[in-house]
Structure 1
C-alpha cells in the first residue's frame, strides 16, 4: 500500500496522557505517495554501510545479515568510498610527485576516468612512469593500449558505457578517439574555465559541451573533478539523475507529487535523518559526512537493482528482473583517504586498511 510522506518537520504530537503506541500527526506532502521500496531505500543504505564498516574493521565475512547484499555486487553508500574512486583520489589526483598545475590535474583525471579502470592506468604507468600531460605522446599511448586490446585485455570498466567518439574524431579504435578527446578538452583551456566556474552546474555545463559526454557522463566527470583542487563545490549543490537512479525513483514512488527527479533526490538528501529516525534505524555516516546528492542518486540506482530480488513485484520503469553482477571480494587492501577539503581524514582510525 502507498503511503503519503511529508516534506516538512513533523508537528508536535497532540498532548494526551501517556499511552503505548500513541499516534503522532505528520504534515502531509500529498499527493506524493511511496511504495514499500521507499522504506527499503533507507534500510539498504544502513545495511550497505554496516557491511562497509564491518569490512573496515577487518571482521570475517559474511558482512551482512542480508543475503542479497552478501550475494550480489553493490556500490558503497558513499560514492567516494568505492575502490575506483579511492584510487582516483589517492593515486591519480593527490599522489605525491605529480604536478598540481591545472592542466596536469585535469589530464590525469580525464585519462583515468575515460577508461575508469585501475589496471589500465597501471598499465600506462608501467610503460611511462608518472603520467603527465607535459610528456604525453598520442602515438605511444595509443600503441600500448592497442597492444593490450590485441591480446584480449579489457581496458575499459563495465561500470558505464563510454560512447566511441568515432563520429567526431574519425579514428578506428575507441581508445584512440578518447585520447584525442583528452587533447581536445585540454586544448580548449578547460582547466582554466573550470577554475573560473561559479557553481557545480556551470562546471557541468563546461564538461557537457564536449563530444560524447552527455548529461550522465558529464555529471560523473564533474563530481570526479570536484574531488581535486580545480573546483570546490558542495556535493549537495547540484545533481543529475542517471538512468539507474530514475529506475529506483520509479520503484520508490507511485506519485512524486509534482516533484521532478532532481527534486526527489534533493528531498531524500534533506530528509535522511528524519527517515532513519522514523524507521528506528541507525546510520553510520562517513566519519562525520552526511549523504550528499551524488550518494542519494547512487543509492537510488543500487536500490533499483536490490529491489529486483527483494521486491520483484514492483517493476517501476525498468524492464530488468535480475542482478547481473555477483559479489567477489577483492583482497587488495584500501587505506581510506578523502579530499582534504572535506576535513574528515582526521576522523578515520589509523591502520585502517581493508579489502573493500
Structure 2
C-alpha cells in the first residue's frame, strides 16, 4: 500500500504519508546512481528529474566525497597512534572542507599532537579569511565556542588545543561503546548532540575504535523534519526509535515497495543507523519538490544544484568492515560522485 495509510513498523501500527514510500525509492535510486558511476556508465545516471537536478548525499554516509577524503587522507594515509588520529579527525571535521584541510597541511604540515599550535594554524586560516574564502563547510551549522578570540576559526583552534592540553582527547581513547564516545564529545563546548554524534561516527571509522554503529543514533534537525514528513503518527516511537525501526525493516520495504531500481547494498553491508538518519535528511529535501504539500517548517526549496565532478571517484572503506575496497589502498572508478 502506498500513499497515506496505516502500516506496521517494528510491531507497531503507524500512519505514514506518501513521503514514506519516497524514502525507500530515494535510497534505492541514489544507491543505483552510485553504482552506475562506479561501473563507468556515461551520464545521466538517473531518470528521476529531482535527483538529476539537485545534489543529494549517497545512501551510505561513508561513500560521500568528504567522508572518503577523511578516510583516505586524514585517517588511513599512514599508520598513526590513537591520539594523533583523534586530533586529526576532529580538526578536519570541525571545518569539514577539503580545501581548508589542504591549506593547513600546505602551510603548517601534517597535523599531529607533537608541536600542535593553535596559533600556527590560526595564522594559516587567517589567510583564507582575509581573502574572503570559505573556511567552513555549509553542511553543518558550527556554533562558535567563544574562547576569547575575535574570529570563529581561531576559537575552534583554541578549543582543539584546550582539549589536547586538558586531556579530553586522551580520554576519548577509553570509550568502549559508541554511546560512551558520543557522551564524552557532548560535553565539549559548542559541539551539541548532533555534532557529537557525527564526530563519534567519524572517529569510529579509524582503526583505533571498533564500536557498533547499530548501538544508537541521534537525529539531526533535517532528519526530524524528514520523519515529520514521512509519518502522521509514529505509534509512540521517538525519532531514534523510528530510525532504528527503519533500519531493521529496510530489507522488507525494499522488497515490497514498487521502485524502478532494486536496492543494492554496499557490497554486503546493510544500511546502518547513521545511514538511515541521513536518508531522512535527504527525503526532507526531496519532498520539498516531490511533495511540497507535506511541509513541517524549515527550508522550502533545495539550495544545492547538482554539478558533475569530473575527477575520478576514489573509493575505500574502513578495512575492519571487510569490504572489497579498502581505505588503505583506495581504488579509482570513472568520475566522482
Normalised by the length of structure 1, the TM-score is 0.89
What's the offset of the Cα at 1:240?
0.2
What is aligned with 2:243?
265
What's the offset of the Cα at 1:170?
1.1
What's the offset of the Cα at 1:353?
5.0
Rg larger in structure: 1
What is aligned with 1:303?
283
Label 1:346 to 1:127 Cα distance change in 2 as closer, same or farther (>3 A).
Answer: closer
What's the offset of the Cα at 1:350?
5.7
Q: Which runs of 5+ in 1 are unaligned?
A: 9-27
Preserved contact between residue 117 and residue 156 of structure 1 (Cα < 8 Å): yes
What is aligned with 1:314?
294
Q: Does 1:60 align with 2:42?
A: yes
What is aligned with 2:269?
289
What is aligned with 1:209?
187
Q: Answer with 329-338 or 187-196: which moved more.
A: 187-196
Q: Which runs of 5+ in 2 are unaligned?
A: none
How many correspondences in the alignment? 331
What's the offset of the Cα at 1:196?
2.1
Preserved contact between residue 32 and residue 264 of structure 2 (Cα < 8 Å): yes
Preserved contact between residue 194 and residue 230 of structure 1 (Cα < 8 Å): no
Aligned partners of 1:44, 1:118: CA distance in 2, in Å? 27
Aligned partners of 1:263, 1:148: CA distance in 2, in Å? 42
Q: Does 1:336 align with 2:315?
A: yes
What is aligned with 2:105?
125
Higher relative contact order (CA 8 A, sep 6+): 2
Aligned partners of 2:116, 2:186: CA distance in 1, in Å? 24
Select the residue among 134, 140, 163 that pairs with 1:154: 134
What is aligned with 2:168?
190
3-state DSSP of counterpart to 2:9? coil
What's the offset of the Cα at 1:176?
0.6
Preserved contact between residue 2 and residue 34 of structure 1 (Cα < 8 Å): yes
What is aligned with 1:145?
125
What's the offset of the Cα at 1:347?
8.9
3-state DSSP of counterpart to 1:62? coil
Aligned partners of 2:325, 2:119: CA distance in 1, in Å? 43
3-state DSSP of counterpart to 2:84? helix
Aligned partners of 1:351, 1:72: CA distance in 2, in Å? 24
Q: Answer with 292-301 or 48-57: which moved more.
A: 48-57
What is aligned with 1:251?
229
